Chain A
């Protein structure tokens, strides 16, 4: 039987910024959002000469080699859930291999996945780190060219399943950095994702496309405000900012 293959943008054997601890991070090629502030626009298109294909066995073998150094594995992108059958098979194989069974398995997602996709992934997934680009539908459209309805549905679904490991707020000045907006977002998360850590990621112009290059980078003081506004409902202990 031929194995499912995945299209990857890159693999990073040691990543310290893709979830708890040292993680093997797999970046899938192709995304279903079109974010203005994307740091890795080259991972957006499905078809590109730079991506490479792997099988589950190949990827598991790569993880096995470094497993003693890891807390876990994170699939990211692009958007990993676009290749959900592969991710499910990969996670299942990690779970079954004694050398990798102890590793936690995380999905880093933009949330544009339906319930059936999550139902396929969650039995073999320890946690999902979910991006919430904007709580408000119009702002979400402006930032990503897509509605946030599936993202909010994913948020509810994952929170109910106890698999929501982290919500990430990507703050783009001039779009979603207002005090009211962030206080509302905090209220919403406190109600619908109680106890879930919130990571605020402030916009950085590094790596973005030309259209976003003139957006200003928030000052330290502004970052502290973001954290304060979100934390007012969520709780300061759950909020971090990078």
Chain B
């Protein structure tokens, strides 16, 4: 970047009427980073990045903090923090203040913490002996402060798998406050999590689109007991995280290859996986060995994150278009998600990528045995004509049962997360138990992540994070937003028809018999 261009762009940011002070500071930091040279890669890898075959989600030219960091809040609460100048909390007031202080000092790619911890488990011990009214008041204060001081829907809190007063209080507050922040996950163990808690969470989905549900048994099998769900649907080890997330555009990989299925699987795909890994490797090395994040971060110094619990995320997206193109080249017509053979081809491709990624060593990824975690990347606002992750294209989703059975077989390969958003109409609201049944069935059929979108509330899941439809309307009208994620979402709605998802009428009164009346 020439100095003159830098000056023009910096000036534009400083003068922008649409940015808050804090958004301006972040954008200026991003611009400064962009003025540096990116981590060095081969010409072919650089070309793949420039053409969009490989995409680093605009993480920046000079990585100086991991993309996703999951501090070990439990250890911090137990021992206190020298960096924060705080002793171990002794009561709930101390603990809430401790966490809020700590959140302000946790970096991530967004500039805000993407992980707030399993807040119910963290705070429940301090809530013993605290009356309900005080607990509600304190948690309300905490939840409002999180939304107002960390205004980014990628900021993510976890609940479950066990029931707790703190967890129930948070769900009640979610229904009362209707905030987009924090994003929320309930970990569900089909054997252990009581139905009543899941029903409470489903009622919360009806109110505000949260929480997202994850399959605890599958997660612990892949990541161990200490895992967290961060940002949107990224599951990683607590006390670690992901250096970077680089994604391979499968649609583009197929489009530019002009070969049949076998050649693509055996030659083209492995090479493109290699190019993706090359970029990841360069970014990781830049972060760890050049910017030396883990040598100077207070979180590493105090044992709250460990380099050996870190890994990186290898993302894929555009599976649907890749499959459809390969099927068309073979002279068939089936489409991913609705045709059995095409859907099975999708599963096969995911399995093949998983083998390739597992065989590709990466530096500083000891958190996953020296390899990246595979991730089904749920898209960004600028994706055009390419379906998020391994989802079925918006508007083509089959009925709920077929939808779940079509995507479930992919989930075991994505230890670091996969999202398939299911859309319901409000008939669900009279029968929340039915949604619990669907969640349990989905999980016992091998689904790792289950996310719902309900048509009747003000919230909408964009690619994974939540925004309010009313905030989007306001942004369109005034050009200003308090949450950074709203700006991304406006682009996503305009570009990819996310508001057009097929509504899952589980039973359609137009076409199915009702009790004779």
Contacts and interface: CB of A to CB of B under 8 A. Distances in A.
Given A12-B507, A17-B507, A69 B516 contact: no
A37 B517 contact: yes
Interface stretch (A27-35, A117-125, A157-165, A181-189): A27-35
A59 B484 CA distance: 52
Interface string A164-176: 0000101000000
A206 B516 contact: no
A62 B335 CA distance: 25
B102 interface: no
Contacts of A79: 516
Contacts of A78: 513, 516
B20 interface: no
Interface string A16-57: 111011110101000101010111101110000000000000
Interface stretch (B154-162, B434-442, B467-475, B489-497): B434-442
Contacts of B444: 68
Given A22-B437, A68-B445, A16 B514 contact: no
Contacts of B435: 22
Residue picked from A12, A35, A44, most chain B C-beta under 10 Å: A12
Nearest to A27: B513
A170 B516 CA distance: 10
A15 B515 contact: no
A38 B517 contact: yes
B134 interface: no
A10 interface: yes
A16 B506 contact: yes
B513 A70 contact: no
B24 interface: no
B506 A15 contact: yes
Given A21-B436, A66-B441, A70-B441, A15 B507 contact: yes
A21 B437 contact: yes
Contacts of A92: none
Contacts of B516: 31, 33, 35, 38-40, 43-44, 77-79, 110, 131
Contacts of B360: none
A9 interface: yes
A71 B512 contact: no
Contacts of B506: 14-16, 22
Interface string B201-236: 000000000000000000000000000000000000
Residue picked from B427, B437, B444, most chain A C-beta under 10 Å: B437
Contact of B513 (A23, A40, A71, A168): A40
B514 A39 contact: yes
Contacts, number: 113
B144 interface: no
B501 interface: no
A84 interface: no
Interface residues of A, number: 47
Contacts of B433: 20-22, 71
B517 A39 contact: yes
Contacts of B400: 14
A76 B515 contact: yes
B478 interface: no
Contacts of B517: 35, 37-39, 131, 170, 201, 203, 208
Contact of A16 (B401, B427, B441, B445): B427
Contacts of A201: 517
B514 A22 contact: no
A22 to B, nearest CB: 4
B507 A207 contact: no
A10 B514 CA distance: 10
Residue picked from B400, B404, B436, B513, most chain A C-beta under 10 Å: B513
A77 B515 CA distance: 6
Residue picked from A12, A22, A40, A208, most chain B C-beta under 10 Å: A22
B441 A17 contact: no
Interface string B384-422: 000000000000000111001000000000000000000
A78 B513 CA distance: 9
Contacts of A43: 513, 516
B95 interface: no
A38 to B, nearest CB: 5
Nearest to A37: B517
Contacts of B256: none
A68 B436 CA distance: 11
A13 interface: yes
A242 B429 CA distance: 11
A129 B514 CA distance: 13
A109 to B, nearest CB: 9
A240 B517 CA distance: 17
Contacts of A17: 427, 430-431, 507, 514
- Shortest 8 CB-CB distances between A and B: which pairs? A69-B441, A22-B437, A22-B434, A21-B433, A16-B434, A40-B513, A27-B513, A68-B441
Interface of A: 9-10, 12-18, 20-23, 25, 27, 31, 33, 35, 37-40, 42-44, 66, 68-71, 76-79, 108, 110, 129, 131, 168, 170, 201, 203, 206-208, 240, 242
